Amino acid sequence: MQAFLQTLIYGVETGAIYALIALGYTMVYGVLRLINFAHGDVYMIGAFVGFYACTQWLPFKDLSQHPEAAAVNIALALITLFLSMLLCALLGITIERFAYRPLRNGFRNADAHFWGFVIALPVTAFVGAMSTTKRQGALLFAGVVIGFIMRPVMAHLTKRIKPSSSRLNALITAIGVSLILENGGINVFGADPKFIPDILPKRQFSLLGVEFNSSRLIILIIAAILMAVLRYIVLYTRPGKAMRAISHDIDAAKLMGINTDRVISFTFALGASLAGAAGFMVAAFTNIKVVPLFGLQPGLKAFVAAVLGGAGNIPGAALGGLIMGVVESLVASRYPQWRDAVAFILLIVILLVRPAGLLGKNTAEKV
Amino acid sequence: MRWLLGRIGVVVLTCAILLVANRLLIDNIKEYYISVLVLCGLYATLAVSLNLINGITGQFSIGHAGFYAVGAYVGGAWTMLMRPLVVKSLPILQTGTQLGDHLNLFIALVLGTVCAGLTGLLVGLPSLRLRGDYLAIVTLGFGEVIRIVILNMDVVGGPRGFTPITALVNDHGIPLVWVFGLLVVVVAFSRNLVKSAQGLKFLAVREDEIAADAMGVNTTRVKVTAFVIGSAFAGAAGVLYAHCQTGVNPDSFDMNTSITVTTMVVLGGTGSISGSLLAGIVLTALPELLRYDFIKDYRMVIFSTLLVVFMLTRPQGIFGHREIALPRFLRRLIRKKENAP
Amino acid sequence: MIQLRQKSSLFGALLLGVALFGIGCKDKEEAKPSGTGKTGETTDTASRGNTVTGDTIKIGEYGSLTGDNSTFGISTHRGIQLAIEETNAAGGINGKKLELISEDDNSKAEQAKTVVQKLVSNEKVIAVIGEVASSRSIMAAPVCQDAKVPMVSPSSTNPKVTAIGDYIFRVCFTDDFQAVVAAQFAWDQGYKNVAVFTDVKSDYSKAFGELFAKKFKTLGGKVAAEPTYQSGDVDFKAQLATIKGATPDAVLIPGYYTEVGTIARQAREVGLSVPLFGGDGWESDQLIPGAGIALEGCFFTNHFFSHDMTEPHILSFIAAFQKINPGKQPGALDALGYDAAKVIIEALKRAKSLDSVALRDAIAETKDYQGVAGKITLDANRNARKEAVLFKIVGKEFKIFKSYRPEQVGL
């Protein structure tokens, strides 16, 4: 019984993280019907922001030498949490603006500039590394130049291109963005594992024979708070209402005078900030290794969780995450090697039995 | 009669080209290039076979690596585990002899193809009721499940991989003949299928499933057929992969592989066989070519950025639904010349 | 108007298939005259192997410079580079400079094979140095063996690596020995009941665990539990809870540093407070950042090298090392990389001719070479017979705790 309870607790801890990431998937799916594959990598970026904040940007104290600095560290950790959320939100908006919006509205000049710059980055990073001086300057300059060169080329290429409505295209674009973030991460951060040092005092206590760990409880509490805030935003604020309107019918929402592009940006920002928070918390409070592929598995599992709960359904994503975490933990306690398979078997069964997910509504196919 | 002659002519020509190429390659090309060429051929096969499902039938599978894996492991298991048992009663399969090795590879190929096809049937029957994104997710899930099952099978090495698989005569050109031979078969099959009445059903399902249903096409059957054929070809590619690489690792069949193949199909133009073929070869060779250049550290970033830019600027892929064919291309050239003066 | 040609649909493909099978058979007949049976093959392959052309002697290196085990590859690379630079500064070999061609395998077994093919067939290197991880060495070694280019592994400890062929060497001990030392050590420490937590994804870890269990049982100990994990996992609590339930005296984790830190932390979280111990896969400056204080007082077996040692040849190695890498302390992997390169360089000096086949024979004759990580004598199985040390983790330092010679553990 104790062992079972213990396993359950572990499951809820993992599930909370899945839920946080799954929310981002489900919101984006709700408004755009797009599987945002890059979402798991936003989670990874959150972890890296946390890593750099904890080791370089912010004056965290080493607790083993300065035990009195705990209060300062807690305050700094909160700042890092917000920083992670903020930067990830910005990243989410950027991804939406330059990768997904051109799919909806067509490829514009601004997009050509942006992608020209992105292509220029690695090239100039190499040139910069060779010349070593004025690296940033060279980077910017070459980016702008290549952007300008690409502009007429792109304009020519895209002359006859209408915005694409193909799901397959959107999916591949999302996968491409995910690959850019992962491989860019390998170039920028390096592929070697990094560890965030202990920044918060940890306490271990047992209750009824079940082991609790203070840092994992913190994750649980913050996750709960964030989900409550999200629920408030979606249900009771204007952008939240607009989001729901778009997810019902994007064209009708447009006709009602909703600035859909802006609301979609907002949706991405919300989802990405949750993923960023999750990334930072996992990296800092469980001290697992931070690598550019940090988000691959959790992203996939969270995505399964989102589908499990019903893609596009916000409470469903939270529920799906928790279920995933618990089931995974239960299976892992007996058959650890099947842990990863369980997620997918669960997914397959749910989709075959109840394709709209646990809380989703079954809708008839429109002709 | 004429078409039969034509067909035989094509077959003879292909064989001749392959043989000559093989002779040239054995002597002149370095091992590294051969292994890149083999990979190009295999990925092109995978792309063309997935194109049958995603492009021609308009379904949405992103779990192709699973079937590739089934083929690789079944083929490997035959060669390493079954062959030593069978060889006692069938001395013709003796290891080390040219005939024995080729015959063995052929048997492995048949077994791998059949098993992958059966797996495709198993996966396809329940999941093809779903559509669009959901189908994609389920196939992805099945792909991962297949991989994890392999990870937990100790007979074939589990997570450490199934090595060595030593079957091919160590003559470095031979894998190429097999790989490109398979590619030719798969391309010819796909092309002929599209041109046949059967193929029209496939296209009809792609264009409008409901209309096709109304016209009396058994859509489920068509979809499952496409799925099974596509998986079977992927399995055949897997068998050759296992034997050419002299060993396989479950990591080679992860989600990334599936995604790479899907990318090839989409970039080449969903529905275009020649597009998939070209994309398969180019996208395999490109990262390897970039390995040589000064940008080798950044090759993957550049590759993925180009992928996104391509998707945004040319969403229908290189060829769209169109095909490139040499005769038509020549004809058009001639016509242009005639019109020119 | 679309023309329908249904009959041809399958027929053409079938015909092609049959014809292609024909090619395979035809080919064999054509190939036959070039040599009949085995003798033909050997005369064909004897001419292979790479020869030095031009003014430089090319030596290839493949390693995990990026990816999961990148600290392994980078450390080894530093050692190799030092050896090459030292030799070149001293005038090279027979007036020829050495050229090191390094390839990164991304910590992936598949890539290891491709890059070694590239080194051997395109760059025509005369010898190959690599890898640290046994799984990748096992993948790449057949390429070197086929091409008759000697490969010297600095620190792959799995017995299978050098068993691949007579062109594969190593300058470190094998797990046959390391695992036995670990078992002996555990017994000497008074652990009677030890759990073994292996990484099923790594040849190194699996062999280590099995060999340990075998030896430990013959010593009279008991293996309490044998759960497994896979490198890349981040959640080990389920397995650790199982281990806790078996109440062992200590836990052996023969894995790599990338997971060990997390495992140690989670072990403490589930309330498992017994000592943990492991092998040379723990050696990394990332071990302590990953583990925090969870590994305090734990042990691991390692190669015979520490920057605390005061023998003159080690001091001079450290001095040379720090000249190139200011502010860094060399570890066992740097030392082994250096030794691997040095063994090749010494063999090059003795080799009858500058080609890879002659080089192989020269390497095989290596005897009593004083490397920085112990004396190297390559035995008939192309393995080095060396001492092993046990490090104890004290704060952020690894301290030498004990050392074992092969004779001491009955080998």
3-state secondary structure of C291: helix
Residues of C in contact with B196 (CB under 8 A): 4-6, 8-9
Inter-chain touch C68–A291, beta carbons under 8 Å: yes
C273 and C245 within one domain: yes
Inter-chain touch B141–A367, beta carbons under 8 Å: no
- What integer pLDDT is reported at residue A165 of this predicted model? 61
Q: Does residue B286 sit at the A interface (CB-CB below 8 Å)?
A: no
Of C19, C118, C206, the CB nearest to B15: C19
C113 and C225 within one domain: no
A360 lies in some domain? no
Inter-chain touch C138–B163, beta carbons under 8 Å: yes
A300 and A247 within one domain: yes
The residues with which A210 forms a beta bridge, in sequence order, are: A207
Inter-chain touch B255–A300, beta carbons under 8 Å: yes
Percentages (nearest 5) of helix, strand, coil residues in chain C: 45, 20, 35
Q: Note the helical H segments in C148-285.
A: 160-163, 175-188, 203-219, 237-245, 257-269
**Cα B82 from Cα A330, distance rounded (Å):** 37
A362 lies in some domain? no
Q: Does residue C262 sit at the A interface (CB-CB below 8 Å)?
A: yes
Chain A's closest residue to C199, CA to CA, is A337
A28 and A157 within one domain: no
Residues of B in contact with A28 (CB under 8 A): none
C322 and C187 within one domain: no
Chains that touch C (3 or more CB pairs under 8 A): A, B
Q: How many CB atoms lie within 10 A of CB B84?
A: 11
Chain A's closest residue to C272, CA to CA, is A211
Q: Hunting for tokens 């997390």 — which residue is that?
A: C262
3-state secondary structure of C371: strand
Q: Note the helical H segments in chain B.
A: 2-28, 31-51, 64-77, 83-86, 98-127, 132-151, 174-195, 197-207, 209-214, 219-244, 255-268, 273-292, 299-313, 326-339
pLDDT level of residue B295 (50, 70, 90 thresholds): low
Q: What is the pLDDT of residues A271-329, one digit of tens each?
A: 999 999 999 999 988 888 898 888 888 998 898 898 888 878 888 899 999 999 999 88
In this structure, what are the phi and psi dihedrals at residue C198, rounded to the nearest 5 degrees?
A: -100, 155
A120 and A75 within one domain: no
Q: What is the pLDDT of residues C88-114, one digit of tens each?
A: 998 888 888 899 998 888 777 777 888
A274 and A146 within one domain: no
**Number of domains present in the structure of chain C:** 2
Q: What's the whole-model pTM score?
A: 0.83
Chain A's closest residue to B61, CA to CA, is A168
Inter-chain touch C238–A332, beta carbons under 8 Å: yes
**Number of domains present in the structure of chain A:** 2
* Stronger pLDDT, B291 or A113, i.e. the higher one: A113
- What integer pLDDT is reported at residue A228 of this predicted model? 92
Q: Does residue A341 sit at the B interface (CB-CB below 8 Å)?
A: yes
Q: Model ipTM?
A: 0.82
Q: Does residue A353 sit at the B interface (CB-CB below 8 Å)?
A: no
What would the 3-class secondary structure string for chain A be?
CHHHHHHHHHHHHHHHHHHHHHHHHHHHHHHHCCCCCCHHHHHHHHHHHHHHHHHHHCCCCCCCCCHHHHHHHHHHHHHHHHHHHHHHHHHHHHHHHHHHHHHHHCCCHHHHHHHHHHHHHHHHHHHHHHHCCCHHHHHHHHHHHHHHHHHHHHHHHCCCCCCCCCHHHHHHHHHHHHHHHHHHHHHHHCCCCECCCCCCCCCEEEECCEEEEHHHHHHHHHHHHHHHHHHHHHHHCHHHHHHHHHHHCHHHHHHCCCCHHHHHHHHHHHHHHHHHHHHHHHHHHCCCCECCCCCHHHHHHHHHHHHHHCCCCHHHHHHHHHHHHHHHHHHHHHCHHHHHHHHHHHHHHHHHHCCCCCCCCCCCCCC
Q: Over chain A, what is the mean pLDDT? A: 83
Domain boundaries, chain B: 2-28+38-339
A269 lies in some domain? yes
Residues of C in contact with B102 (CB under 8 A): 21, 24-25, 28
Spatial neighbors of B104 by CB under 8 A, at least 6 apart, are B78, B79, B83, B93, B95, B167
**Cα A237 from Cα A235, distance rounded (Å):** 6
In this structure, what are the phi and psi dihedrals at residue C58, rounded to the nearest 5 degrees?
A: -90, 125
> CA distances (Å), C284 to each of C194, C332, C393, C397, in order?
24, 9, 12, 11
The residues with which C193 forms a beta bridge, in sequence order, are: C222
C20 lies in some domain? no
C155 and C64 within one domain: yes
Chain A's closest residue to B136, CA to CA, is A168
Chain B's closest residue to C231, CA to CA, is B159
- What integer pLDDT is reported at residue B133 of this predicted model? 75
A111 and A69 within one domain: no
Share of chain B above pLDDT 70, in %: 83
DSSP at C281: G
Domain boundary among the residues A161, A185, A206 is at A161
C156 and C85 within one domain: yes
A360 CA: distance to closest CA in chain C (Å): 30
- What integer pLDDT is reported at residue C60 of this predicted model? 93
Q: How many CB atoms lie within 10 A of CB A200?
A: 17
3-state secondary structure of B290: helix
- What integer pLDDT is reported at residue B338 of this predicted model? 62
- What integer pLDDT is reported at residue C4 of this predicted model? 41
Q: What is the pLDDT of residues B240-280, one digit of tens each?
A: 998 887 788 888 888 878 888 988 888 888 788 888 998 89
pLDDT level of residue A135 (50, 70, 90 thresholds): low
pLDDT level of residue B291 (50, 70, 90 thresholds): low
Pairing of strands C228-229, C198-199: parallel
C397 and C297 within one domain: yes
Whether residue C20 is predicted with pLDDT greater than 60 in this model: the reply is no
Of B144, B270, B302, the CB nearest to A122: B302
A233 and A111 within one domain: no
Chains that touch A (3 or more CB pairs under 8 A): B, C
DSSP at B82: I
**Cα A171 from Cα A148, distance rounded (Å):** 28
**Cα B267 from Cα B270, distance rounded (Å):** 8
A38 and A144 within one domain: no
DSSP at B14: H
What string of DSSP letters covers C9-58?
Answer: HHHHHHHHHHHHHHHHHHHHHHHGGG--HHHHHHHHHHT-S-B--SSEEE
One-letter identity of residue C384: A
Residues of A in contact with B127 (CB under 8 A): 348, 351-352
Q: Does residue B188 sit at the C interface (CB-CB below 8 Å)?
A: yes
C90 lies in some domain? yes
- What CATH code is assigned to B2-28+38-339? 1.10.3470
C133 and C63 within one domain: yes
C361 and C301 within one domain: no
Supply the CATH number for residue C235's domain.
3.40.50.2300
C296 and C336 within one domain: no
Residues of C in contact with B184 (CB under 8 A): 16, 20
Inter-chain touch B133–A119, beta carbons under 8 Å: no
Q: Which of B194-208, C14-28, C207-221 has the lowest mean pLDDT?
A: C14-28
**Cα A293 from Cα A183, distance rounded (Å):** 9
Q: What is the pLDDT of residues B191-224, one digit of tens each?
A: 888 888 888 899 898 888 889 989 888 988 999 9
Retrieve residue A208's tokens: 């009824």
A64 lies in some domain? yes
> CA distances (Å), C308 to each of A284, B126, B199, C171, in order?
33, 64, 74, 21
Interchain CB contacts (distance < 8 Å): A and C: 84
Q: What is the pLDDT of residues A255-271, one digit of tens each?
A: 998 998 999 999 999 99
Residues of B in contact with C32 (CB under 8 A): 98
In this structure, what are the phi and psi dihedrals at residue B97, rounded to the nearest 5 degrees?
A: -85, 150
In terms of average pLDDT, the best of A232-236, B229-233, B315-319, C236-240 is B229-233
Q: What is the pLDDT of residues A52-68, one digit of tens each?
A: 998 888 888 777 777 77
Domain extent at residue A24: 2-100+166-353
Of A6, A204, A289, the CB nearest to C241: A6
C241 CA: distance to closest CA in chain A (Å): 8
Supply the CATH number for residue A186's domain.
1.10.3470
Whether residue A344 is predicted with pLDDT greater than 90 in this model: the reply is no
Inter-chain touch B251–C109, beta carbons under 8 Å: yes
A116 and A19 within one domain: no
Kind and range of the H or E run holding C129: strand C127-129
A365 lies in some domain? no
The mean per-residue pLDDT over the stretch A9-14 comes to 89
Of A125, A169, A338, the CB nearest to B311: A169
Of A102, A176, A345, the CB nearest to B145: A345
Select the residue from B2, B3, B11 to test the C interface by mutation, using most C Cβ atoms within 10 A. B11
3-state secondary structure of C395: coil
* Stronger pLDDT, B14 or C126, i.e. the higher one: C126
Share of chain C above pLDDT 70, in %: 88
- What integer pLDDT is reported at residue C36 of this predicted model? 34
Inter-chain touch A291–C289, beta carbons under 8 Å: no
Q: Which of A87-96, B139-148, B149-158 has the lowest mean pLDDT?
A: B149-158
C200 lies in some domain? yes
Domain extent at residue C148: 56-173+309-387
Inter-chain touch C6–B197, beta carbons under 8 Å: yes
Residues of C in contact with B197 (CB under 8 A): 4, 6
Inter-chain touch C289–A195, beta carbons under 8 Å: yes
- What integer pLDDT is reported at residue C11 of this predicted model? 47
Residues of A in contact with B139 (CB under 8 A): none
Report whether the peptide linkage leading into residue C154 is cis, meaning its omega lies within 30 degrees of zero.
no
CA angle, A27 as apex, A92 and B206 as ends, to 5°?
Answer: 100
Spatial contact of C131 and C104, defined as CB atoms under 8 Å apart: no
